[in-house]
Amino acid sequence: MVEKINTEKFDTLMAEKGVVIADFSATWCGPCKMLAPVLEQVASQFEGKCKFVNVDVDESSDLAQRFGIMAVPTVIAFKDGQQVNAFSGYQGQPQVVAFVENVL
C-alpha cells in the first residue's frame, strides 16, 4: 500500500531505519495518475521490505523544495534517511521493480 503523507510524517519516517520509496506527485498530473497503480502493485510485491509513500507537491511544497523536485512524478528512494536513487516521469512495472530491487 502507498500511504499519502505530509511533511511531519515524512520527517518521522526519515528518522527511522529502512527503505522508503517516496512518490512526489500532483493531483493535476496525468503521468502521476498513470504511475500510481504501478506503485501500488510494486508496493504490495515488496510489502514488509520497504515503505511506499506519496507526497502531494502542492500540499507539501516545502518537501518539494527541499528535494529540488522540478517535475512530477519524481520517485526518490531513501535508505536509513539518506537519498540513494531517484527517477522522474512514468516508468512501467518492470522498471519500478528493478529500481526498488537496486535499493534493497
Please list the active-site residues: 29, 32
Which residue in the block uniquely carries the three cell numbers 527541499? 66
Q: How far apart are CA 6 and CA 63, in angstroms?
A: 9
Burial class (CB in 10 A: 0-12, 13-18, 19+), 42: buried
The whole-angstrom distance between residue 34's C-alpha and the CA centroid of its chain comes to 14
3-state secondary structure of 90: coil
